[in-house]
Amino acid sequence: MGGDKAAISEAEAASALRWWLESGVDAMAQEQPRNWLEAAPSAPAPIKAPAPAEAEYPSSLEAFHTWLSSASDAPLAAKGAKPILPQGADSAEVMLLAEPPGRDEAASGRPIGGEAWELAQRMLAAIGFTPDQAYCANLTCFYSPGAKLSPEQLADCGEAARRHVALAAPKRLILFGDAPARALLGKPLIDARGHVHQVEGVRTVATFHPRFLLTRPSEKARAWSDLLLLMEKPK
């Protein structure tokens, strides 16, 4: 599954196997019988606020990256806030849109850092992708210790993230964590999980951030079921 993908190495295969074992599964299937001819469950479409005029955001992904790192009106932009820019190429097999960066991300310069990135790589390998096939970004790219998103900031982040997804044009999208689910789907992660969504025409699932899974390994099985939903062929 997963379409055209590069063959993974022995190390990558071992990494994927570790993820499956950590998730409590030993086969590429769910525990309950599944009618594969039945359409995957879809969540009701959230009520969307009017999208901003396209001219408000850059028209290319490269220009969008520049805007994220330097524009004073970018979500959570503030003096002294450290930008953690997206990584990867456009039209990727999968885009990972994660919670705002924390200490590990600030230290590594990656949208997902530290042990959470190691786990994210195993999750990617489990569905047949290498890190090079993923485009990684944060809901807001600024590391601002102690900052919490207000409802207005969350709405701003959602508008910018929709433009980001449209410009990156991935084949699939994974929302890692509660804030991305609220910003892009209009509902908390607990309600967004277990359904296939569409964001800017891209097949999307929401699941737990790898950072959360490191502290709650019992949730890895549910995260695996979300990844399976992402990889099912659209009906």
* pLDDT of the residue at 53: 43
User: Which amino acid would we find at residue 195?
Assistant: H
Q: What is the mean pLDDT of the chain?
A: 83
- pLDDT at site 174: 98
Taking 80 as the threshold, does the pLDDT of residue 19 lie above it? Answer: no
* In the predicted structure, residue 42 carries a pLDDT above the cut 60: no
From its phi and psi, is residue 128 left (phi > 0), alpha (psi between -120 and 50) or beta?
A: left
For 89-119, what is each residue's pLDDT tens digit? 999 999 999 999 989 999 999 999 999 999 9
| Residue 217, pLDDT score | 95
CB neighbours (10 Å) of residue 226? 20
DSSP secondary structure letters along 8-41 = PPHHHHHHHHHHHHHTT--SSS-SS---TTSPPP
Q: Which residue has the tokens 């994660």?
A: 98
Provide the 8-state DSSP code for 205.
Answer: E
List pLDDT tens digits, range 137-161: 999 888 777 667 889 989 999 999 9
Q: Which residue has the higher pLDDT, 97 or 22?
A: 97
Question: Angle at which helices 61-70 and 151-168 pack, to 10 degrees?
Answer: 150
Examine the pLDDT at 50 and tell me if it is beyond 70: no
Kindly give, in sequence order, each residue whose CB lies less than 8 Å from that of residue 37, ignoring residues fewer than 6 positions away. Answer: none
Which candidate, 148, 147, 126, 153, places its Cα nearest to that of 230?
A: 126
Res. 49: pLDDT tops 50: no
The token duo for 128 is 């047949």
Q: Domains (ranges, CATH) in the chain?
A: 83-235 (3.40.470.10)
Structure confidence by residue, pLDDT tens digits, 211-234: 999 999 999 999 999 999 999 987
pTM of the model: 0.79
